[in-house]
Amino acid sequence: MSAGTSDRRKYWIAGTITSSIALGAFAFVSFSPALGPVAGAIVPQLYVDSLPSAQIPVRGPYVLVDAASARLYMMMDGRVQDSMKVIVGKPETPTPVLKSVINYATVNPYWHVGADLTRTLIAPRVLKDGKAYLIQQGYEVVTEWGPGAQVISPDSVDWKAVAAGQTRVFIRQRPGPANSLGHFKFELPNGDGIYLHDTPKKELFSADMRALSHGCVRLEDAQRLARWLLGKDPPVASVPEDNVLLPRPVPIMISYLDPQSRMQLTSLQ
């Protein structure tokens, strides 16, 4: 073998090894999202994958609710862009761990009162104060929940039977300043009745302990979340239950992070 041939062979071997390493690295990055393909994103993506139960995607928008610290994080490409306080479920009605997706924001939502609250709260008040209580609070008795709901007279309801749990009645609260869901609601398709919503009781967010709800997640600034999800200011709705479709579905995870995971999440700011 000549010297020229030997040198060419050395260069060919070196080039092959270099190419193999590069291809291996590309494959490793492709199949190991923890590293990510963008320079400078290695450290945060490693932190993302180390968060137990968070399942933060390396690309796109993502909403993470840490029920343990009662805080919501708006994330983009594995980094925290914004966050806010939330109110989560009481110990007896805890907010469940779940994974879902947000498809739209509901502006001017009705509040559909759950069966338990109807039985334990509303029916006893109607028995005590009459239908004036319903009018004062903006409650309506309806035939069902949904677009086909028809308003019916409270006089047609056996409120003693409702309070005793012997019959079911559908109650909704009209949109307005006193509405328990405020101005915005964010449904979760497989949330089993759990969703995110605004609230008129902003004073509750000043408390350190914010496990106060019946399971749903109340938002410190629902309009800010709506703006982030939509990529623009939400419209001013003039009708009840105006569903505004997001540019694309946004995945959401509700989890209970441990202190170490919360410190790692802080590093993704």
Q: How confident is residue 51, by pLDDT bands cut at 50, 70 and 90?
A: low
- CA angle (254 as vertex; 116, 184 as ends), nearest 5: 65
> 2 CB contacts (<8 Å, ≥6 apart)?
none
Domains present along the chain, CATH in parentheses = 58-108+181-266 (2.40.440.10), 112-173 (no CATH)
Q: Which long-range contacts (CB under 8 A, 24 or more apart) does 232-240 make?
A: 234/105, 234/107, 234/184, 235/107, 236/107, 237/107, 237/108, 239/108, 240/108, 240/109, 240/110, 240/174, 240/175
* Cα 184 from chain centre: 12
Winning range, highest mean pLDDT, from 15-19, 244-248, 259-263: 244-248
Higher pLDDT, 57 or 75: 75
Its pTM stands at 0.76
> 87 CB contacts (<8 Å, ≥6 apart)?
70, 199, 204, 205, 210, 211, 212, 213, 217, 218
| pLDDT number for residue 4 | 45
**Least confident window among 42-51, 97-106, 188-197, 234-243:** 42-51
Residue type, 170: F
| pLDDT at residue 195 greater than cutoff 50 | yes
Mean pLDDT across 148-172: 95
Burial of 16 (0-12, 13-18, 19+ CB in 10 A): exposed
**Least confident window among 18-27, 78-87, 200-209, 221-230:** 18-27
Mean pLDDT across 105-129: 94
- Report the alpha-carbon distance of residue 79 to residue 24 in Å, rounded: 27
At which residue do the structure tokens 């609250």 appear? 117
**What residues are labeled active site?**
197, 216
- Report the alpha-carbon distance of residue 148 to residue 96 in Å, rounded: 30
> 253 CB contacts (<8 Å, ≥6 apart)?
53, 54, 55, 56, 62, 63, 64, 65, 98, 99
**Least confident window among 10-19, 96-105, 139-148, 174-183:** 10-19
pLDDT digits (tens, 9 = 90+) for 10-50: 344 344 333 333 333 333 333 333 323 333 333 444 335 55
Q: How confident is residue 242, by pLDDT bands cut at 50, 70 and 90?
A: very high
At which residue do the structure tokens 């902003």 appear? 202
